[in-house]
Chains A and B, each alone.
Chain A
């Protein structure tokens, strides 16, 4: 029985490690990140994740081995009495100082990525100067307001602003800024493929920026409980080339200005 229980307690960490290795090495299983990050900042976040992962895995293996080792020794002890020891001062010092140095290093090492992500003074200038859209989260959709082509986004809605729902377009390879707000309760703007997440707080306007480096359609979901329909706030980020982006805005503008009395050619064009 003693052997069984020692094996039992070593078995689980081994399964956990194997499972983690399989999950991280086999993208086809989909048990790991949803693909490499599409932004450079996201890649830096992933790198920080891996740095922590390596340190933590080493500690995990070390402590679990130590645990099972002392278990084995203690359960197979032939001594009449246990070792009478109240502890060791030098060990306490070692195992307080070494982890605290590692932990402090980890904390300080995270700072600049956080500053880049969230502190407005560190945002790329091109993003800070010209926010491309205002995203308002509502139960249970995302409303998007763009300035008319060639104009700047204003705090107050303008008559010529362009609107869309649940489809945010952004040009690739350009740092873009979004003004995030909420129309009712709290929500969270989550772009898993870009490693972007920011809560939308009622009564507050929060700037976020990203620079997608890949074309495509990426999911936009809500990550903060906002009511019964929280799960279905499904939307997307369409990341496209600059020309396509401009065409999209033009089309929005045309649709919005369409007065219902179109010329036959316009109707024909629409039917295509």
Chain B
């Protein structure tokens, strides 16, 4: 046993000598712009998505302003609008919520998880020096730029206004939404570019995780973050082509070519005989519901693409903060896989009232209800992880706990809408809006905020400010719940989503004060994000300097320098155990046991202290 240990130690030393990386000088452009280094690409994604978060938030406040103070001029942003008096017109309102969701989903949540954290963490956590295909990786970031440009042009042309779901026929027929002509087309192009970007990332992540793990990093020694990234990449690879194809179909439905190209005009989603806005009746034989099926076949798995990586990261952070192994590591892996598998057969729950065959409603109800099970198992395991831990309330911990607490709400509200008869009433009301904000913001974004502060030292070699971090958390948490919990009640009261002025309906008039409360909460939450942004930017230059392993954590990434240089590890890492050996009683003088620590004899303290004391 100990002989083996010595041999290992020996090998380690040898590798150390080889590990000194050959340095080749890089130009500024190579290093910061067209970088092929996964860490730089991750940071590029992170900066871009944080910027987009602020933009998406501003759009949301526009929506909220109109619901709280209908038809009054909005401060700050109002004067920017072309509309007289800064008033939000119904067309503009429709554009606002469409672009809000588009920016948040396609330019914030999906790229911040897979793009920023997937890129930064995957090679570091599995002990690789970079991604399998660095150039492809670089392209996956640079394909976001035309996507952003397309969405920007969409704004310029008046804004897409068919919701982020872009339902046919509204999104298919130019006449159906006057002014959306080129805007909707640009929107589709933007989504396609995002899809290409995600696909390039996804191929890269799968290859890297499967092929480039450090010696000893078996599948069941992978941190849950890596499992989540792998499962997400698989989900994306299988679901995304459907959306891309559907996007092109809708694009061809919209394009009205002339001349010899006229034959290209398709009618995939357009039935015959529709008279839209007094134009000629449509000719066709298409089926609008086909769009919904194709869209949700991607977009339901996509909601898990928006969640699983955050689940993985929170699991890792929570174990470290509680100084305790994750409770039920394998059940966590299996439940994530179950979520991914079931995620492919539940898309119809978005279409219960759509007019599809009612027998499908029943099957989709059963599968949807069952997907709540792995979600519940994960919640129980997170609570189990905290149970018996030794925990300190720092910013990271707070965000992890918020993650669990908010996910309980979002998961439970899902059950109401999974029950078809109940969904008849609540579909397309504000309770749906409450549900998905509890999962996408309350869960994913709190996880991301925690992850930013947790891995910040690895990214920049410094820590973010704790006090500012706690204020940001406090205000965001209060603002978030103030804004989104009452939305459940709006939904029960029958308040439909996507209404520019709900108060023209007498049964909704009395809900104005509640909406004002919601808007004020949302503003608190919105302004709190400046604390995050400021803390983030200032800490890059002013934050307290940290060593390699400031959190006394176990993962391979903490064995690399902070920030890791080109090629990541000065000592090529070897993995000796799973990532959750916290508080192992066989370890004498520390309550963590790094995956790279070669100590074999459990009763003895490590001969040479492993890197890690900060």
Contact = CB atoms under 8 A, between A and B. Distances in A.
A56 B514 CA distance: 24
Given A67-B386, A91-B384, A186-B170, A85 B325 contact: yes
Nearest to A16: B485
Contact of A221 (B362, B398, B505): B505
Interface in B280-306: 286-289
Interface string B164-206: 0101111001001100000000000000000000000000000
Contact of B177 (A59, A110, A228): A228
B412 A228 contact: no
Contact of B419 (A88, A107, A182, A226): A107
Nearest to A232: B504
Interface string B367-383: 00110110011011101
A240 B505 CA distance: 21
B584 A95 contact: no
A200 B354 CA distance: 8
A83 interface: yes
A114 B481 CA distance: 33
Interface in A54-76: 55-56, 59-60, 63-64, 66-67, 70-71, 73-75
A96 B288 CA distance: 39
B485 A77 contact: no
A39 B10 CA distance: 80
A23 B489 contact: yes
B493 A31 contact: yes
Given A33-B493, A199-B354, A66 B170 contact: no
A200 B271 CA distance: 13
A49 B91 CA distance: 35
A183 B275 contact: yes
Given A83-B324, A184-B277, A52 B493 contact: no
B386 A71 contact: yes
A214 to B, nearest CB: 15
B539 to A, nearest CB: 21
B162 interface: yes
Interface residues of B, number: 113
A96 B404 CA distance: 18
B90 A84 contact: no
Contact of B582 (A45, A82, A104, A110): A82
Interface in B475-529: 477, 481, 485-486, 488-489, 492-494, 496, 498-502, 504-507, 510-511, 514
B353 A197 contact: yes
Interface string A91-128: 11001100110011011101101110111000000000
Interface in B124-169: 161-163, 165, 167-169
Contacts, number: 327
Given A92-B377, A95-B376, A197-B424, A227 B323 contact: no
Nearest to A59: B412
A204 B393 CA distance: 57
B576 interface: no
Interface residues of A, number: 100
A252 interface: no
B424 A196 contact: yes
Interface stretch (A159-167, A187-195, A241-249): A187-195
B272 interface: yes
Interface in A186-224: 186, 188, 190, 192-193, 195-204, 206, 219, 221-224
Contact of B365 (A107, A223, A229, A231): A107
Interface in A21-62: 23, 30-34, 42, 44-45, 48-49, 52-53, 55-56, 59-60
B169 A48 contact: no
B389 A74 contact: yes
Contacts of A222: 496
A268 interface: no
Contact of B331 (A87, A193, A230): A87
Contact of B324 (A1, A85, A234): A85
Given A63-B383, A103-B369, A104-B370, 14 more contacts: A12-B405, A52-B419, A74-B390, A74-B391, A85-B325, A113-B421, A186-B169, A193-B507, A202-B274, A203-B272, A223-B353, A223-B427, A223-B429, A224-B167
17 contacts: A12-B481, A30-B493, A32-B493, A49-B416, A60-B409, A63-B383, A81-B583, A83-B389, A85-B325, A88-B328, A92-B328, A103-B370, A190-B428, A222-B496, A224-B428, A226-B170, A230-B499
